[in-house]
Amino acid sequence: MTFVGAEITAILRAASERGLPSLLIGANAIVLLGYIRNTVDLDLLVPEQSRSQWLDLLRELGYRVFHGIEAFAQFEPADKTGAPVDLMFVEEATWEKLIESAREMDLSGQRVLVSRPEYLVALKLHAAASRLAANQKSIGKIRQIVRICALDPERDDPFRELILRYGSEDALAKIQSFSRRR
């Protein structure tokens, strides 16, 4: 079992009690895949149709939106010392594709769905493309996912296609070098 802070556990429990759908992405998902690292935030991918319920839940738990755009919302707790929360909103078709192959795992006693590692890489590439300053940080996380999960774009055409769709030829070359260095 992997442990997280009380705020994250409370959010996951409250969401579960309300039947709110989510897919764990970000650092906690990487930890569940086997990479040991410290993180205090919670990153979730949720279907667009549940946006208002998620916003209501987080407000009720004392969170406020400090940055929001169409596809993302970032929250901070009222006391500023708790766990930040990032929500990524996706259309129903994307949601269905992502949860189709997700695995159920345990995070501090809460059952969470975790995306396939290939999709975590695609999400990181997408995030890195939209936030150039975070690119190096995202590349480091991608390297860990590729190594831990033994991903190889040279042997896995769908993975290669995801990289090219959400990244670039440069990203593909870098990821290929990660898989060769295992």
Each residue's pLDDT tens digit, 57-96: 999 999 988 776 778 888 888 876 778 899 999 999 999 9
With a cut of 70, say whether residue 12 has pLDDT above it.
Answer: yes
- Return d(Cα 77, Cα 22) in angstroms, integer: 19
CATH topology of domain 1-115: Beta Polymerase; domain 2 (3.30.460)
Domain ranges of the chain: 1-115, 116-182
| Token pair of 8 as six digits | 């994250």
In this prediction the pTM is 0.74
